[in-house]
Amino acid sequence: MRKLTEEQVIYCRENYVAGDAARGLKVLAEKFGVSVDVMKSIVHGETYKNVGGKIHPIKERVPAAVKEAIAAEYVPNSSEHGVKALAEKYGVSIGTVQKCIAKSATRRTKLTPEVKAAIMAEYKPYVEGHGREALAEKYGVSVAAISYVIREMRKEPARRGKPALEVADYLKEAIIEAYDEGLTVRQMAERFSLNRDTIKNVLAEAGIQLRRRVDEDTKQEIIAAFKSGQSLRQLEEIYGINRATIADWVKDFKPVKEKKELTDQIREQIYRYHSQGYGAGIIAKTIGFPQSVVRRVIDGEL
């Protein structure tokens, strides 16, 4: 591998312009005879072993026009217009391309009263094709936006005849996100310093069905189904129990199932979940693939 001198590194960092066809990563990499990945590590501030010493980090700055172009040109699973290709074309990191795509993916549809009414008419918790994720994909908005619509359109009266505690909108969104992460009502009450009834009211307003108590026979039935090869997502839909709870029950058991093939459809599903803000861990549990595979797909390595 070719070694760059300190002067060459400084030149690269001073002349690099994100998104510039004449001064981007690819041009600089070709000029100094190194790979695009190596040039990326130099200009974005990571320690590069062939330079000798740490390079202080700088923030990657991408012009608004470049961000818009990336979002407009992106085509899932495309060799010419995919994440990795756009990163090389515009001389930016893969992470930057993914952020541009994610931001554009949540702004495609305006939530008019008619759209909100249509969402509420179709929303059915734990019914395939009618859940929050499916509706988010159909209407081109984020899962959080779907949750917001459900909460606003399906307000319920306060329980036990007591006036409901007013909870700020941003806090309600945080509670719904925590539920998606698998936290229990008790854990959410402790995290947000609210009583359990208030947490339950917020979730009910959003149309979220709380997990129910499960008898031992049902629990063993779920464990047996998991061992036979059913995924956490399938079990959640069948039994109406949060997948995080099921995952805790079956953590000591390994399911017996055939090795799944990483198809283009699965890749597109991973990109879609990632653009909606889900982490690799949740995506891996949802689609039934190892987290390491999900991360490599997100990074454009698979």
At residue 159, the pLDDT reads: 40
Residue 259 lies in a domain: no
At residue 157, the pLDDT reads: 41
Q: Please state, rounded to an integer, the average pLDDT across all residues of the chain.
A: 76
At residue 160, the pLDDT reads: 41
Are 49 and 71 in a shared domain?
Answer: yes
* Winning range, highest mean pLDDT, from 41-55, 94-108, 147-161, 221-235: 221-235
Q: Which domain holds residue 174?
A: 113-205
At residue 255, the pLDDT reads: 59
Residue-wise pLDDT tens digits, 111-126: 777 888 888 888 876 6
Q: Has residue 184 got a pLDDT over 70? A: yes
Are 99 and 34 in a shared domain?
Answer: yes
Are 11 and 101 in a shared domain?
Answer: yes
Are 137 and 85 in a shared domain?
Answer: no
Considering only residues 159 and 216, tell me which one the structure prediction assigns the higher pLDDT: 216
Residue-wise pLDDT tens digits, 144-162: 778 778 777 655 444 444 4
Residue 134 lies in a domain: yes
- Angle ∠(256,257,263) on CA atoms, nearest 5: 155
At residue 156, the pLDDT reads: 43
Q: With cut-offs at 50, 70 and 90, classify the pLDDT of residue 180.
A: confident
Tally of domains in the chain: 4
Distance of alpha carbon 239 from alpha carbon 222, whole angstroms: 8
Are 198 and 119 in a shared domain?
Answer: yes
At residue 284, the pLDDT reads: 85
Distance of alpha carbon 252 from alpha carbon 268, whole angstroms: 31
**pTM assigned to the model:** 0.25
Q: Has residue 50 got a pLDDT over 50? A: no
Residue 45 lies in a domain: yes
Residue-wise pLDDT tens digits, 77-114: 677 778 888 888 887 778 788 777 766 654 455 677 78
What is the DSSP-derived secondary structure letter of residue 219?
H
At residue 258, the pLDDT reads: 56
Residues 6 or more apart in contact with residue 243 via CB below 8 angstroms? 182, 232, 233, 235, 236, 285, 286
Q: With cut-offs at 50, 70 and 90, classify the pLDDT of residue 241.
A: confident
The number of angstroms, rounded, from the C-alpha of 69 to the middle of its chain's C-alpha atoms is: 22
Are 80 and 153 in a shared domain?
Answer: no
Are 117 and 91 in a shared domain?
Answer: no
Buried b (16+ CB within 10 A) or exposed e, 94-122: bebbbbbbbebbbeeeeeeeeebeebeee
Q: Has residue 220 got a pLDDT over 50? A: yes
Q: Has residue 231 got a pLDDT over 50? A: yes
Sign of the CA dihedral running 162, 166, 169, 173? negative
Are 77 and 167 in a shared domain?
Answer: no
What is the DSSP-derived secondary structure letter of residue 108?
S
